[in-house]
A and B are shown apart, each in its own frame.
Chain A
Amino acid sequence: MTLNKLLASFGLILALLAAIVGEPERDDSTLEEIALLIQSEEDHMTPLELAEQLYSGKKIRLIDIRDSVSHFEQHIFNSELMSIQQLLKNEIRKNELTVLYFEGGIHASQAWMLMKMKHYDNIYTLLGGFNGWKEIVLNPTLHAGKTEEEKKEFERRKTLSRFFGGEPIDIPEEMSKKNSIHQHQSLPKNNLPKKIRKSEDELRFQC
């Protein structure tokens, strides 16, 4: 009987302390941690970082929080379409490396905040969103470099772009020198291949 009384007292003490403590979560540290992550820019991945990691075969869960029309029109290979509500409910593992993206940056950042509040440790947004992805990874405007290093980088970007189904926009060395100010005016030329590219993408992603 003394053992039972000992156990009862032990339970009662723990319960009394629990009532004094009130809540079992000590959430105040969370906000500070989130603030620190944003400050040190550890809340996002740049399109190039993401592309390099995907290219090297790293397992990343990509979540597209845009609407379904945009998603089916074009999306990053292997990404899942999910609304923010679904994202909150969905069983994404806490430690699973996850990248959220929207058209631009804001929406994804808001979703990121919510997920951080729920203690998702390994979640990032895509800097610049899908627009950034298109501009930097899919259709980079490239100027042939002079140094070996620049040339290497140039080839790398082309490989990445093609890997993800994009089309690098090549600007020969002389032209880029002449037109350095008028770069954007050369865009109309690229409109045609862009349309063709889109239909290619549709084929690629709709199956």
Chain B
Amino acid sequence: MHAPFYQLGLFNNDTALFLAVVIGIGFGFFLEQAGFGSSVKLAQQFYLRDLTVFKVMFSAIITAMLGLFWLSWLGFIDLSLVRILPTYLVPQLVGGLLFGVGFVMGGYCPGTCCVAAVTGKMDGWIHLLGMISGIIVFGELFPLISDFYSSTPLGELTLQQVFNLSHGSVVLLIVLVALAGYYGAEKLEARHRSMR
């Protein structure tokens, strides 16, 4: 096992913070290159005119998912050391529903909003301000909602555990769904282009 490097103690906290900046630069670069610095482009996803969001998100998930699977199989990375966020079913469902409304209303998510702001989008800055306010609201309300926040804890639950499938089968299923989605997305976009 050679990875995760930090968990194996290969470097200290200062190096980790330096690498955070490097990784962040890559993250911001590809978000902007994908067109995620524009709320109009992002929002088209929800009117089925431009499905870039779906394509980019799923390609990213698939790349990382396949990469992790095969790096683990090759004995390079120890998957048990990769932190999986624990599931809190109902708060995450409700959080997702609120987030979705905010996404189509404001046009950005937290990461894309930063890229929009830095490339001069004024609505990106306002959205950023809104998010900061939202976090303060959440922080101030936290004593009241902390019970709900910690409800329905299911631990580090994975799809393969829920569906009782092998890790590889879940990977294949996701890739098949994504490929079908890509096919549909290309058809939709082509039809929209021809209608104009």
Contact = CB atoms under 8 A, between A and B. Distances in A.
A12 B166 contact: no
Nearest to A19: B172
B66 interface: yes
B31 to A, nearest CB: 19
Contacts, number: 79
B179 A20 contact: no
A16 B72 CA distance: 16
- How large, as a class, is the contact surface on chain B? 20 to 34
A156 interface: no
Contact of A18 (B59, B172, B178): B172
Contacts of A119: 1, 78, 80-81
A26 B75 contact: yes
Given A8-B182, A12-B175, A94-B9, A24 B167 contact: yes
B17 to A, nearest CB: 17
Contacts of A17: 168
Contacts of B70: 14, 18, 24
A95 B9 contact: yes
Interface residues of A, number: 25
A7 B69 CA distance: 18
A25 B59 CA distance: 24
A15 B69 CA distance: 9
A55 to B, nearest CB: 23
Find the residue from B73, B179, B182 having the highest chain A CB count within 10 A: B73
B81 A25 contact: no
**Among B8, B59, B174: residue with most chain A CB under 10 A:** B8
A26 B176 CA distance: 25
B10 interface: yes
Interface of B is mostly: helix
B175 A15 contact: yes
A103 B116 CA distance: 59
Nearest to B179: A8
B7 interface: yes
A11 B66 contact: yes
B56 interface: no
B9 A18 contact: no
Contacts of B62: 11, 15
Interface in A171-198: none
Given A11-B62, A94-B7, A94-B9, A22 B169 contact: yes
B78 to A, nearest CB: 5
B104 interface: no
Contacts of A15: 62, 66, 168, 171-172, 174-176
B93 to A, nearest CB: 26
A21 interface: yes
Given A25-B79, A26-B75, A94-B7, A20 B175 contact: no
Contact of A23 (B7, B10, B168, B182): B168
B68 interface: yes
A17 B167 CA distance: 12
Give the 4 A-B CB pairs with smallest separation, nearest first. A95-B9, A15-B175, A24-B72, A18-B168
Given A8-B179, A24-B72, 4 more contacts: A12-B179, A22-B166, A23-B168, A119-B1
Interface of A: 4, 7-8, 11-12, 14-26, 93-96, 118-119, 121
